[in-house]
Amino acid sequence: MHQVKVLSSEEILAEELAKEIALKINSSANSLKPFSIALAGGSTPKLLYSVLAEKYAELIPWNFTNIFMGDERCVPFNHPESNFGMIKKALINKIRIPEANIHPVKIGAEPEEAANNYSEVIDSILPRRDGMPVFDLIILGLGEDGHTASVFPDRPDLINSKLTCEAVRHPQTGQCRITLTFPVINNANAVFFLVTGEKKAAMVREILNEKPGSEMLPAKYIDPVYGILVWFMDENAGRFITP
């Protein structure tokens, strides 16, 4: 089961999602529980991260928050395509969060080693359920080909991977990526998709269409076992969705 929230603009969407994230982290902190969030890369979430930095720097207990990456490109953090580099610039550099709460993927080792290392970091910090780490919240984007995190249509094996993270190659560019696998994403307490823009509207319709389609669209396989799934989108991305 999932909820769909269509907001009238990217700005209002970012404000609404930031508010939901703040509510979740504060509720966790009120019970003195650390909150683990895995953030999406790409371009869509930049506005969300800026709103969190500008409006919630003092309103979210960042000392209770552990920031992880949902996926990462195997490039240095100062590379324009680095997801952590983008998140550091848009959010982390603007909030007071303990260094120990920030968990980038340690790029530099061989991809498989980087994936194993990241799996060990995650497994050493997060509680477990069904033998897998439990994130409190995972933010996901959606590619026009139906990929999410860095699980692309050519890697259906990641849907049932036994690992927490795996190293993959972008099917078009060949770029090395490290990604959370779907069993771990589907083990989260909450998964929020954040999708904007007309270009994504057709894929949003495909993914949310209950009828099983013919192609392998990875985002269709995001279905939390215990947690909630909410699709946050602007009107452009949701133009084919009936409320």
Which residues here bind ligand 6PG, judged by CB under 6 A? 40-44, 70-71, 83, 141-143, 147-150
Measured from each CB, the residue nearest to ligand 6PG is: 141
Task: Give the residue with the Cβ less far from ligand 6PG, 121 or 151.
Answer: 151
**Whole-number Å distance between alpha carbons of 23 and 2:** 19
Of 33, 50, 7, give the one whose Cα is nearest residue 193: 7
SS3 91: coil
Task: Give the residue with the Cβ less far from ligand 6PG, 121 or 237.
Answer: 237
Q: Which residues, in sequence order, are CB contacts of 12 under 8 Å at separation 6+?
A: 234
At closest approach, how far in Å is the CB of 25 from ligand 6PG?
Answer: 21
Task: Give the residue with the Cβ less far from ligand 6PG, 83 or 164.
Answer: 83
Residue 226 has which token pair? 């215990």
Q: How far does CA 188 lie from the centroid of its chain?
A: 11
Could you tell me if 148 and 142 are in contact, meaning their C-beta atoms sit under 8 angstroms apart?
yes
**Whole-number Å distance between alpha carbons of 93 and 99:** 11
Rounded to 5°, the CA angle 228-234-240 comes to 90
At closest approach, how far in Å is the CB of 140 from ligand 6PG?
Answer: 7
Task: Give the residue with the Cβ less far from ligand 6PG, 35 or 49.
Answer: 49
At closest approach, how far in Å is the CB of 24 from ligand 6PG?
Answer: 20
At closest approach, how far in Å is the CB of 152 from ligand 6PG?
Answer: 9
At closest approach, how far in Å is the CB of 148 from ligand 6PG?
Answer: 5
Task: Label the pairing between strands 228-234 and 190-195.
Answer: parallel
Task: Give the residue with the Cβ less far from ligand 6PG, 70 or 183.
Answer: 70
